[in-house]
Chain A
């Protein structure tokens, strides 16, 4: 598995080259949100907004009304939490082309409750006109800008940063409202998002060897949530459904899947892996994933509970799994 650094920093500069309508706003987190290179290359299109998040969101709405596309960069919490009314009334209600890049989802920061976006999807999913996408690897980060381009309204992008893996081939970009199918199987439909997909891939690898049929889908669009690929997977699941997300189990992927299951009459049990209904503490990502039940072992435990079997998977076995690059099933067939 290839690891890459500062993917967004490079990608945004290249992508914005011939898009003069794109302006970048930063809330005093320019390097932290990987827009320092953009600031150097296009100083005239970079707006330092300081710590004025409420102002920054409304200001973005004003510029978007005039035909510019503000790319607002700060930590997710400072947009959906601190400035929710501004996001709603200055951006979502008039359905403006503002892109909100929300960094530090869930366990990806040791910054504690103030910095961890654990409920952003739940909060923003209920906003009319809002589109929500989440990145899980370098390919997602590289292609999410193209995904936003086609959306004529606000988009919240749940971003990962720093050193990130490439799980999916660079030639297979993220597509709006289309899950990546990573494996086929008829026992369990497994939906994972963001950084959880990498964790789940380790588990799937071992469980397949133990004869469990898993349809594994990487979901990157949280709103809208009417992807036929998701519905097909649910309809095929014989024994149960599991969701795994770097978000509280309320309001995010698990809830969206539960709603869809109810709508289509999918009568198998659902298990939701995610942050319990709780704020977290400031600690490392591995600690938080273990402590709040968001790691591979937690996922194994849910498979065991769902299927009534013990798989005897150890931590060292999980650590030994070497992840390659995951071609989506359908695209794999086409190769």
Chain B
């Protein structure tokens, strides 16, 4: 089996896992899994150099306190912090379900862990926080994680670490002014150990970005802000891997991954463009999705 086949299999599992949990929870961020499955799968299986998970297979419940008092963040699921190892920063943590599913699909968390999704008292929160599995910072207020990642990257540069800082973002976030401040500062300070993968699904809560607030060409804007930019089909694991293998010497890398918000789950298509959070309107609808899950042909 080639690595591509294996990575595609992981992507498939991410979608199936999120579909399963969305049915169980009668709602979830299903569309985000559809668009980002190959991106997360390629990052986890091919691009990021991570150590084995150091988190318990079944995540502990939420306990008050901070990363400092607990001595760890949800980043433990992405392995130890070490000079040669990479770090993974999730910015739009509404993708938490897809991130949890990626952890399950790559054997970093048990499937039972995902079943705690959005339950009272659980750390597997609906919108990921820094104690949630796979999450190292609190990114849910958009545009902040990229600046935090830049700070982490500069600290790593000062220490002489060879590992990279990978950041997962979504295109809607680029409406936030802070994102552009962050890219300006990374170009100015020549921060080159940051690689950003953007799920360009053209979607935000109110609908299509084109209708809510079109921001034009992300590639042109990012290049003007001094980033190295690649544009790829976000469902093509080979193209994703090739784009991420680049490491520019004096600037951050951004891979714009063009995706479909209903990819792999055709049932979602009629809801387009209202896909931000999928909640079933009736038992009949929920049963349709259950049927789709039962008929899912595992790759």
A295 to chain B, nearest CB (A): 40
B204 to chain A, nearest CB (A): 18
CB–CB B141/A85 < 8 A: yes
CB–CB B66/A93 < 8 A: yes
CB–CB A47/B147 < 8 A: no
CB–CB B66/A63 < 8 A: no
Q: A50-B188, A94-B130 are in contact. Are A55 and B152 (CB under 8 A)?
A: no
B165 to chain A, nearest CB (A): 9
A200 to chain B, nearest CB (A): 39
B178 CB within 8 Å of chain A: yes
A143 to chain B, nearest CB (A): 26
Query: Per-residue 0/1 for B62-106: is the Cβ within 8 Å of any A Cβ (1 yes, 0 no)?
Result: 000011110000000000000000000000000000000000000
A326 CB within 8 Å of chain B: no
Q: Give the residues from 177 to 197 in chain B that come closer than 8 angstroms, CB to CB, to chain A.
A: 177-178, 181-182, 184-185, 188-189
CB–CB B178/A94 < 8 A: no
B156 CB within 8 Å of chain A: yes
Residues of B within 8 A of A74 (CB): none
Tell me the bound Cα distance from A56 to B150 in angstroms: 10
Query: Per-residue 0/1 for A29-55: is the Cβ within 8 Å of any B Cβ (1 yes, 0 no)?
Result: 000000000000000000111101011
Total count of chain A residues near the partner, CB < 8 A: 31
Residues of A within 8 A of B156 (CB): 66
- Selected from B152, B181, B182, the residue in CB contact (under 8 A) with A66 is B152
Residues of A within 8 A of B66 (CB): 93-95, 129
Residues of B within 8 A of A129 (CB): 66
Please report the number of residue pairs spanning A and B whose Cβ atoms sit closer than 8 angstroms.
Answer: 106
A1 CB within 8 Å of chain B: no
Q: How large is the interface on B (under 10, 10 to 19, 20 to 34, 35 or more residues)?
A: 20 to 34
- Selected from B137, B140, B185, the residue in CB contact (under 8 A) with A52 is B185
CB–CB A54/B177 < 8 A: yes
A152 CB within 8 Å of chain B: yes
Residues of B within 8 A of A89 (CB): 138, 140-141, 144
Query: Per-residue 0/1 for B129-145: is the Cβ within 8 Å of any A Cβ (1 yes, 0 no)?
Result: 01000000110110111
B39 CB within 8 Å of chain A: no
Tell me the bound Cα distance from A55 to B145 in angstroms: 9
Residues of A within 8 A of B138 (CB): 89-90, 93-94
B151 CB within 8 Å of chain A: yes
Residues of A within 8 A of B184 (CB): 50, 52, 55
CB–CB B68/A58 < 8 A: no
Residues of A within 8 A of B144 (CB): 54, 58, 85-86, 89-90
10 closest A-B pairs by CB: A62-B151, A66-B155, A58-B147, A52-B181, A55-B181, A62-B148, A63-B151, A59-B151, A54-B178, A55-B147
If A68-B158, A86-B144, A89-B140 are given as contacts, then 13 extra A-B residue pairs at C-beta distance below 8 Å, sorted by A number, are A49-B185, A50-B185, A54-B144, A55-B150, A55-B178, A58-B144, A58-B148, A59-B150, A62-B149, A62-B151, A66-B155, A90-B144, A94-B138
**Interface, chain A (partner B; CB < 8 A):** 47-50, 52, 54-68, 70, 85-86, 89-90, 93-96, 129, 152
A sample of 9 inter-chain contacts (CB < 8 A) reads A50-B185, A55-B150, A58-B146, A58-B147, A59-B154, A62-B154, A66-B155, A68-B158, A89-B140
